């Protein structure tokens, strides 16, 4: 089944591009959190981050880094940058084609990222780390 980002990558749907390469496409979000909110997508379809070709994943971050600098040098108000990649519905992913949000920030812009952080004991942290290492 096709997805909206694949259609944009193919040129079947319009976008406002800011960067293009053989591996990734970056374009303005049509529902931006703040002005200048950019999405960076791999050209090859992948639903989740673990499925992305490692070279494409690398390019997502390299392009996000370049965009962060460009936003700060541009006329777009930018005092800070948030990067966000939601992987899975429970994480807030709405379009199931991997995409990295590059969100320019200014004081009082209304964009919020919040969480309730816990403070587990070291033994719990060590046990969780062991599970993750075993899965690698």
Q: Which domains does the chain have, with CATH numbers?
A: 4-111 (3.30.428.10)
In this predicted structure, the answer to whether residue 114 has a pLDDT above a threshold of 90 is: no
Contacts of 113 (CB under 8 A, 6+ apart): 82, 84
Give residue 83's pLDDT band: very low, low, confident or very high (50, 70, 90).
very high
Per-residue pLDDT, averaged over 66-78, amounts to 98
Q: Tell me how far CA of residue 5 lies from CA of 39, 50, 106, 107, in angstroms.
A: 10, 18, 28, 31
Average pLDDT over the chain reads 96
Contacts of 70 (CB under 8 A, 6+ apart): 18
Active site positions, annotated:
99
In this predicted structure, the answer to whether residue 39 has a pLDDT above a threshold of 90 is: yes
């Amino acid at each position: 089944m096709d997805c909206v980002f694949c259609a944009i990558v193919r040129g079947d749907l319009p976008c406002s591009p800011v960067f293009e390469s053989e591996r990734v496409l970056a374009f303005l979000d049509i529902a931006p959190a703040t002005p200048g909110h950019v999405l960076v997508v791999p050209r090859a379809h992948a639903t989740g981050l673990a499925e992305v070709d490692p070279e494409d994943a690398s390019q997502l971050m390299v392009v996000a880094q370049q965009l962060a600098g460009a936003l700060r040098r541009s006329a777009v108000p930018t005092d800070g940058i948030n990067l966000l990649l939601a992987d899975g519905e429970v994480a807030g992913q709405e379009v199931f084609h991997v995409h990295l949000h590059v969100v320019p920030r200014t004081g009082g812009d209304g964009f919020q990222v919040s969480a309730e952080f816990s403070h587990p004991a070291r033994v719990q942290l060590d046990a969780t780390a062991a599970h993750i290492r075993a899965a690698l």
